[in-house]
Amino acid sequence: MDLLNTLVEKGLRRETPTREEALAVLATSDDELLDVVAAAGKVRRQWFGRRVKLNYLVNLKSGLCPEDCSYCSQRLGSKADILKYTWLKPDEASQAAAAGIAGGAKRVCLVASGRGPTDRDVERVGRTIEAIKEQNEGVEVCACLGLLSDGQAERLKTAGADAYNHNLNTSEGTYGEITTTHTYADRVDTVQKAHAAGLSACSGLIAGMGETDEDLVDVVFALRELDSDSVPVNFLIPFEGTPLAKEWNLSPQRCLRILAMVRFVCPDVEVRIAGGREVHLRSMQPLALNIANSIFLGDYLTSEGQAGKADLDMIADAGFEVEGAGTTTLPAHRADALAAAGGGSGSHASAGGCGSEASAGCGGHGEAAGGCGPCGGHAAAPADAPAEVPAAASEARTDLVAVRRRGAGTDLAPNT
């Protein structure tokens, strides 16, 4: 296809495709799908070889968030039966992180529900970062705490944080239909604060909330403009008890097209398959590794992922290799730019981020969640409206949505 040849050439040159080209990727047919994956794979291999970076989530504080993000199982008013606990102590968090590192994770993502951290919270997380780094030389740490106030990003950087995650989630035009307690501009401001402090910026999206192709292209182009080093792609996990529980709009084929579009628009950044991959990609997960160069190992914030050993077997069976701790994730030009901005060169040259299960911070810690009620144009149709199922929609696989009952906040061993 001329389209794919053009996109490969642009990706190898780090040239931005047009909006029309990005939309055309999402509109390709199932007959063209393997060609789309192969083309995106050429761009992926140019900048990241056959390496797969493993990231590990530690949910420092679960549930009871005051924000109303419709996708989140930790949101205000959520009836999802998730774990709820207050802050882990630094030694507890460090112990949880060590389990992921032992399983092969290169980066630890420290996430806490809430609108944003207080200065006391930043101090607490700073002590946790110091404890993790003291016990695990060379590990990268990404913080994900919600909206940042002035000076907080700098304090996290001083404490040893390498990156900060805060997802845009959806397009600016539709953001108000998903969340009302903060704005899209608030999220952009936090990503910019992280950049300014010399932290590697991680920001991504959630697909499957009822958005249009135009919405997806809008948010990915916005992420490119923000110059995020890492773009986590979450696939909505429709949790019972949250407003998007009836939103089952994704098929494995749709997920692959979305990942490919992100790779073409952001060719040289870390593209991570984040929350929802087991639910929506299912047996197509190995194929997605040809597009994305990063995944989370084991469980997510409030949901369980596939077994950590299965993740490692999948990577090996697909012909990829786990990225070692001594390898710089980002291509040299991005790593050098990050170092020049004060972000260092080796340990935080990958943008990591916590974009798993929907967003981080501002109530977006609950996996791309879901629930039972309407939420603007992104929710299920009202009960008296005729059901409309998108042609590409997957059947509801509620059997694949498992609430996390192990790891951080419990007495059970984590899934690593």
In order, the DSSP letters of 92-125 are HHHHHHHHHHHTT-SEEEEEE-SS---HHHHHHH
With vertex at residue 97, the alpha carbon angle to CA 407 and CA 103, rounded to the nearest 5 degrees, is 85
Alpha helices in 201-284 (DSSP H): 213-226, 252-265, 277-280
Rg (CA), the chain: 19
* Cβ burial, residue 200 (10 Å; 0-12/13-18/19+): buried
Q: Please report, for residues 103, 137, 279, 323, 356, the alpha-carbon distance to residue 312 in angstroms, rounded to integers and kept in the order given.
A: 9, 22, 18, 11, 18
DSSP one-letter code for 188: H
Residue in 85, 150, 44 with CA at minimum distance from that of residue 408: 85
Catalytic residues: 65, 69, 72, 109, 142, 202, 272
Report the phi/psi class of residue 173: left, alpha or beta, with left for phi > 0 and alpha for psi in -120 to 50.
alpha
**Are the CB atoms for 223 and 355 separated by under 8 Å?**
no
- CA distances 234 to 68, 121, 410, Å, are 18, 26, 25
Do residues 305 and 278 lie in contact, with contact meaning Cβ atoms separated by under 8 Å? yes
Q: How far is CA 78 from the centre of its chain?
A: 21
